[in-house]
Amino acid sequence: MNSTVCCRHTALPVSVARLRPLRRSLVPTAGTAAAVRGPSAAARLAAQLRELKQFKVWDAPAGAATDRPSPAARGGSTPALARLPTDGSTAPRPGAGGGRRPGIVWFRGDLRLHDHEALTRAQAECSSLVPVYCFDPRDYGRSPQGYDKTGPYRATFMIEAVADLRTALRAAGSELVVRVGRPEEVLSQLLRRTGAGAVYCHSEVTYEEARVEAAVKAAAEGAGAALKAFWSGTLCHLDDLPFKLAQLPQNFDKFRERAEGAAVRAALPAPSELRGLPLGGRVDAGEVPTLQQLGLSPLPAGCSAAATAGGKGGRAGKGGGGGAAARGSSALDGSTRGGEREALRQLRRFVAQVSGAAGGGGGACGAAHGSNFASSIAPWLATGCLSPRRMLADVQAALGQGGAAPAGAASAAAQPPLTWVRFELLWRDFFRFMTLKYSSLTAGQMGTGASKAAAAPAAAAPALVAA
């Protein structure tokens, strides 16, 4: 078969077989003519290679894991890791989805995965996650009055809760970074190391906690990041109250009357899978400290942390006849521990008692009062291992009343146990809101001892991120 090669002035018939060597020789033989008209193809290629050398190549350090996590990592044995720059740069990695950056989730009084808005938002907005818990030395020192701020029993309960949270995060494909140090210093270092763009947390209510949050916000802004704080820890959301915080009633009865119409938001589910640590940040997870490392003496032999976790209800009375053991609580049987897993186990036990009393036609107080609400549930509510919204939802489901109901809705005659659970949870809300209202007092107003603390801006109501 013949073909025709058309030149500028002539047209010559050439066979296809003879075209192939001619085509291979076009590039080298055209060099002379191209040199007159401009740079050759080889020269243009060399120029492009020189330009490519100006681009920064993001790479992992030697011996680092690959970009694609193994199936075992996604199953929970090893955290799934994301690639990050290794030179300390805070710029987002080229090619990252939407230019998203890593995010730090600062766990405080919310040691759980379920109903955790800060964690949920960070998972949705960030390229990778750095969950962090700090054992703040200021929480384990002595108060101005000379007593321990945290005793050995509560400290053991917290250590167990943090260890349980780490286990849950690892099962979801992430990790918990544990440090002993001031949060504003620890988080500032992690922000610069990982290039994170924000710190996600839940706001707390006391004066000292608000000061720490303000210090973390200043440290985050100094590192070019933002602090995104959310509300948690109460049955009624702060934004759903029918009045401003400044108009909070001074007694519980009036608060309950005005809060009865407030709807309870649905509890968020625990995520089944989470983003892992950033690879290039080289973040060391750290170890959960012991009592001795926190400056406390070890517990006496044979004592459980949960023996006093429930406050005054956790100790046996004289002669061994009082306390939690006499009331049927498991606080002294060695099986009660800090952590979300134990909190959900206690909640199932509590719900069974509540539903049993409802089926048997309990009195006005119902089973919630008979099972000593404070000692059986309060330790896990106080440390954030259990969400009050999750608690109410489980009780509602057990009693056949689903959906988000007003805080004071059920009839006492129809649902005495559920009414009592709401009543107890609203008590918690009242004290938390009252503490938040008055946490803006200055150090001088709080007393001589507090005024000796390091100077810091007066705490104010937290600036929360809109839900």
Annotated binding residues: 424-431
The token pair at 412 is: 């006492």
Distance CA 366, CA 421 (A): 9
- Tell me which amino acid residue 101 is: R
Contact residues for 359 (Cβ-Cβ < 8 A; gap 6+): none
How are beta strands 226-230 and 198-202 bridged, if at all? parallel
Contact residues for 253 (Cβ-Cβ < 8 A; gap 6+): none
Cα four-point dihedral sign 119, 110, 463, 103: negative
Distance CA 342, CA 262 (A): 30
Distance CA 398, CA 358 (A): 10
Distance of CA 130 to CAs 127, 164, 169, 340, Å?
A: 10, 17, 11, 19
Annotated binding-site residue numbers for FAD: 424-431
Residue 427 · residue 234 · CB < 8 Å:
no
Helix ranges (DSSP H) in 77-181 = 117-125, 152-171
- Buried-state track 86-120, b at ≥16 Cβ within 10 A, e below 16: eeeebebbeebeeeebbbbbbbbbbbbbbbbbbbb
Distance CA 95, CA 453 (A): 47
Max CA distance (Å), the chain: 119
Alpha-carbon 35 to chain mean position:
64
